[in-house]
Chains A and B, each alone.
Chain A
Amino acid sequence: MASDSDSTKRQRSAEQRLRIIAGHLQKPDTDGHTGIAAQGCKAETAQPKSVKANTLPQRRQEVLKWNGWGYSDSRFLLNKKGQAEFTGKRYPLSGMILPSLKNWFEGTFGASEQHRSPAVPVLNASAVPVPNLNQAFMEELKALGVTLSQEPDDRVFRSHGHCLHEIFALREGRIGKVPDLVVWPSCHDDVVKIVELACKHDVCLIPFGGGTSVSGALECPPEETRSIVSLDTSQMNRILWIDEKNLMAHVECGIIGQDLEKQLNERGYCVGHEPDSMEFSSLGGWVATRASGIKKNGYGNIEDLVVHIRMVSPRGVIEKGCQGPRMSTGPDIHHFILGSEGTLGVVTEVTIKIRPIPEYQKYGSIVFPTFQQGVACLREVARQRCAPASIRLVDNDQFQFGHALKPQVSSIFTSFLERLKKFYITKFKGFDPQHLCVATLLFEGDREKVLQHEKQVYDIAATFGGLPGGEDNGHRGYMLTFVIAYLRDLGMDYFVIGESFETSVPWDRVLDLCRNVKERILKECNAKGVQFPPFSTCRVTQTYDTGACVYFYFAFNYRGLSDPVHVYEQVERAAREEILANGGSLSHHHGVGKIRKQWMKETISDVGVGMLKSVKEYIDPNNIFGNRNLL
């Protein structure tokens, strides 16, 4: 009886969990899913692919854009009536008209419908360099029976991440150096064999997970002369086992975030790691870059979630001998792997903590009269260690940006309520619409505790002049995170380029850093001849005991510039220098890749760089994992 009711309860909560994910991520999925089972590698490969619940196919370019962000069917565009709309069916915003987006876009960037800068529509296969193959390696590889491809579109897809310069070049049809071959191992043992062959034949391997890097990490080093093989982990995407007694799951590295959550949810569990890229990024990629998710406060960052890592290196397989929750056994070898950015080997399997799906989830938002008061409130919440699963504070520009993304309201009643709320806040409470800012909240747990927790946070907020801004605003805030990345492609259709970058910084320097970086961007844009005022906005996205993570968006209209990408990079570099001068870190979760390498010495000291180099030297003396990130 008891177990029966338990299981129905669990099932119920699993269903709820699904709805939640669908809520802030995508429209409810009506496809049936088959269960997951712990199976051996061989058994799995023998089964037809359709059995698996994978969202993305092996040939990702079939559903994903080859020269922009996300799903091919989802994009912002200005329709024939001159209104902005978001296409597709995947997101809550999909198929909706966004009446104020165009005005905001034109007003903010000085962009106009007349000035278009369209991308080349299709990949020109003849522009892709002929593959430089190592014949001996190829022969032995084929004997292994793993899936391979030399197709130009497969190789191009794995030659880049989503840095501005990478996407900009693709849109112009410029193809740089691309991998010569793509291989899809289907299990740990495949990887071991591939790495052995690569060592034997001196072939360069570049691991590829979700391809969402924003650090230039996937770019093939131009100076590399060996054959470059992209090792795509996407087919290693199974949950191998779930340990309900200890709340752990053992998962292959190639699983993407949304599949991991979906499949665990079906069993009543979740990981709770939700980076903004979770629709596409992979578990192995998270480990390799030290990723962070929005619900860090509830579940921890990737380094807190990982129990065990298995990595294949040129020296062999590296892993711990047990799954003890903490060890005092010298420096933690996991920390050589976490953030190694594919320079030491391929992460193949990860044991990760899981949690029962929270019974109740509630969004919320708080409106503050100024950003300064908002930051003070977040600081106090951190001091009292009562941060909800997620708490983020957006500045005024981003708040207004969020408003521009409001869809057409269907009922007069909603629109009336909106206006009433606005009137209350700006007129009755005297908040200046040009200064107010919003914190979005996500509470999780059992219902009673959530409500209690919510009250505590709102009480703190009140002491900083914060007013509750409703669940809707909170919900929309998180939803926007997923669609905002699509917006850059719209911008790029109209001469607007931009990107995001992030840092972490002690609490007392948050405000100074935000202000100085924004002003520096303005100053540099002026100095570099940018003709239109740049858009730069920030949000505080994570809180810690001693500091916070700050996330910036920066974009500008590049009409009139001969080399916009170069200007963009100069400005971003200046902004990074400003961050470092203001006590901010080189990166909180994006990683170093290639574009931030130049600051590694000042970030971790000469000796620190030497330590990492000596590890690399030992593990991979021939630089088989030759993506040249980090060092």
Chain B
Amino acid sequence: MESLCGLTLGADPEGFWDILEERRRSSDLSHALRTFNPQHYCRITTSSSSTINRTVLKSQYLRYITQEIAEETGEPVELVREEAAGILEEMAQNLQLGFIRLLAFSLSKTFKRLFSSIRVNEEGLSRLQAAIKDHPVILMPTHRSYVDFLVVSYILFTYDLPIPVIAAGIPLMGMKLIGEIFRRSGAFFIRRTIGSDKLYWAVLSEYVKTLVRTGFAPLEFYVEGLRSRTLKSLSPKLGMMYMILEPFIKGEVFDISLVPISISYDRVLEESLLTHELLGVPKPKETTMGLLKARKVLEENFGNMHVYFGVPVSVRDLANGKVNRSQYNLVPRDLPLKPSEDVRVFVGDVAQRVVRLQEQGMVLSPWSLMALVLIQYPEGLDWDLLTQKTLWLKGLALCYGARLDWPEQVSNLEMMSSHLALHHTVARCEKGRVLLVEEDGLHGAEPVSEEEGVLRRAAVVLICASYRNQALHVFVRPAMAAVAMTTASSVRKLDVFSQFRFLLDVFANEFIFIRNNAEQDFDQACALLQRSGAVCADEHSLNVTEEGQTTLHFLQTMLEPFIQTYKMVFRFLCESNAQVFTERNFTPAVRSFAVKLILSGELQCYECLSSDTQKNAISALLNIGAVTKSRVSEQTEFSVNKAAVMRIADTLDGHTPSLMISHSRL
């Protein structure tokens, strides 16, 4: 449970341990060359990468698929099989201890330069050690930075645990030399867009399943699919999750342990990169040169990193009563079949649960709380006010069960100023006033156009918003209830709940909510509001208390940027002359619409320029059914039901009873 009111991590009561401390005291070389003798999965069937690859190519499943493809395309089977072998060669990892040692050595050097500390919860690692022995283990870290990529392997090496194989994006492989080093460090490579390439999909799926079945090594993958550019958890991707769970559902392994890993950064290496991506400036290709250029990054300090290894989750326990494992009794298990409805629902459910657990394991830095305050004062605020508000918020966060990195022995003032200093690129204090720092444009300090001025302003707002996002999961449920209270038709719990459920539906892609869990989410929200003294609730109603106004207002304001953005998107869709958009045109069109609104002064919220939030708004409409998606000649098109969109916008304002929409979703 997350109701750990009053818990602080100041003195590391969670048992976080700085692994860099040892590295600063003793030789990195002897660390890299230490005896490495981890205890493996007790039923491991092979420890050879080439055996894995052979098993994959020989598998009955690939035999079925290649036969099928050969029949469809008219190509000879041998050719299809060769193609499959080619795909596998491009994909497969080639884990070698020597390269892990090399990596350990260079990472020790790099990490010491970048971070003040890397703190790891050791009891999580001993749980992991026990789990690795019993069942195949899936390591599921959050993905906020490229640093995530190898830090888990580094830690596992340090603690004498088996080195994981890691699902990575193909672009990493494209980096000469580095790609090969990664491959030998256990990375296997997946194309970004697999789409309908049946053979590719099949090879990947069989490869992943074979890794799980054989228990070759812990398998590490990012369930969020992508590095989150908003630093907020992303809605999980289910393709790989399904591949991983399949061996359990088909009885090929007794159980699988999912280990959520929450990697929290005081400051993210790619922060400036992030926002440019969010504004729609294309992402730089991941090249070796790019990485070398990033060396200037090495001169900066990025504070602390916390890596929290969560409690292993048994897939078998999760599946109990939800999945009928007998469904494969009458067909060969290798037959390529679409997953049944119960399996699809289950996979989504598991993925969401893990992301929730990741969120609960995140450690908040004081800066996230400061950003949460700062973002509500776009024109800046006095240091004293910032201090006062931040400390108030700290109390609220602790009351809501956040894990907070705020040691007792350091004074609050010192803590906050050091974090402000760490984030000097985002905000600074001038004459007692704290202001956001705008980055210089490409053409010097002066903006060339009004539009660029807006984007430049938006860039820093979005960085600040990203750090705020790191803390949102702590507040999102009570905040959602707080918003629901303002738009609900009465203080009756039933009315607030129906509005709350409507908000869950609308923001289903924005925040992580477990499907069909609205009642529990609402109960939890009410309990937290009550605990923080913001409302007093009886069986039937929620009443705002005298002193609760501030809290509720703060919580409502917290969600305001998202509501604004969604409303802007809804407005764009309704006001536009066209009924149909291509997916490609949507982002630029909505961006220029938003810029126009900001320039005209109609819109003050720069966060509306976040393309991620805009896309989430569209996904929400797709889910609700107000927008439908179709593929027309290689392009994805959205067609908009304007009346439905308008109805949703109205409900968001509290104008129509929200029940209708909630139901229309069903």
Contact = CB atoms under 8 A, between A and B. Distances in A.
A516 B213 CA distance: 13
Interface in A500-541: 508-509, 512-513, 515-516, 519-520
B329 A516 contact: no
B428 interface: no
Contacts of B252: 512
Interface class of chain A by DSSP: helix
Contact of A512 (B45, B251, B332): B251
A583 B43 contact: no
Interface string B239-261: 00000000000011011000000
Given A508-B332, A508-B333, A515-B43, A602 B326 contact: yes
Interface string A571-597: 000000000111100000000000000
B64 interface: no
B251 A582 contact: yes
A516 B251 contact: yes
Contacts of A512: 251-252
A580 B326 contact: yes
A513 B333 contact: no
Contacts of B332: 508
Contacts of A508: 332-333
A501 to B, nearest CB: 18
Contacts of B43: 515
Contacts of B255: 519
Interface in A519-568: 519-520
Interface in B597-622: none
Contact of A513 (B45, B251, B326, B328): B251
Given A515-B43, A602-B326, A581 B251 contact: yes
Nearest to A517: B254
Nearest to A585: B329
Interface string B249-275: 001101100000000000000000000
B515 interface: no
Interface residue range, chain A: 10 to 19
A512 B249 CA distance: 12
Contacts of B333: 508-509
Contacts of A580: 326, 329
| Max chain B C-beta neighbours (<10 A), residue from A513, A515, A580, A581 | A581
Q: Which residue of B45, B254, B255, B332 has the most chain A CB atoms within 10 A of its CB atom?
A: B254
Nearest to A511: B252
Contacts of A513: 251
A152 B218 CA distance: 63
A57 B328 CA distance: 50
A335 B333 CA distance: 31
Contacts of A582: 251, 325
A581 B254 contact: no
Contact of A516 (B45, B254, B326, B328): B254
Nearest to B249: A581
Contacts of A372: 45
B131 to A, nearest CB: 14
Nearest to B317: A523
A515 B136 CA distance: 14
A583 B328 contact: yes
Contact of A509 (B45, B251, B254): B251
A602 B255 CA distance: 24
Contacts of B251: 509, 512-513, 516, 581-583
Nearest to B247: A512
B61 to A, nearest CB: 12
A520 B325 CA distance: 14
B232 to A, nearest CB: 37
Interface centre among A372, A515, A583, by most B CB within 10 Å? Answer: A583
A509 B254 CA distance: 13
A581 B255 CA distance: 13
Contacts of B254: 515-516, 519-520
Interface in B185-229: none
Interface in B315-344: 325-326, 328-329, 332-333
Given A512-B252, A513-B251, A582-B325, 17 more contacts: A512-B251, A515-B43, A515-B254, A516-B251, A516-B254, A519-B254, A519-B255, A580-B326, A581-B251, A581-B325, A581-B326, A582-B251, A583-B251, A583-B326, A583-B328, A583-B329, A602-B326
What 6 A-B pairs have minimum CB-CB distances, sorted nearest first? A581-B325, A519-B254, A582-B251, A583-B329, A512-B251, A516-B254
23 contacts: A508-B332, A508-B333, A509-B251, A512-B251, A512-B252, A515-B43, A515-B254, A516-B251, A516-B254, A519-B254, A519-B255, A520-B254, A580-B326, A580-B329, A581-B251, A581-B325, A582-B251, A582-B325, A583-B251, A583-B326, A583-B328, A583-B329, A602-B326
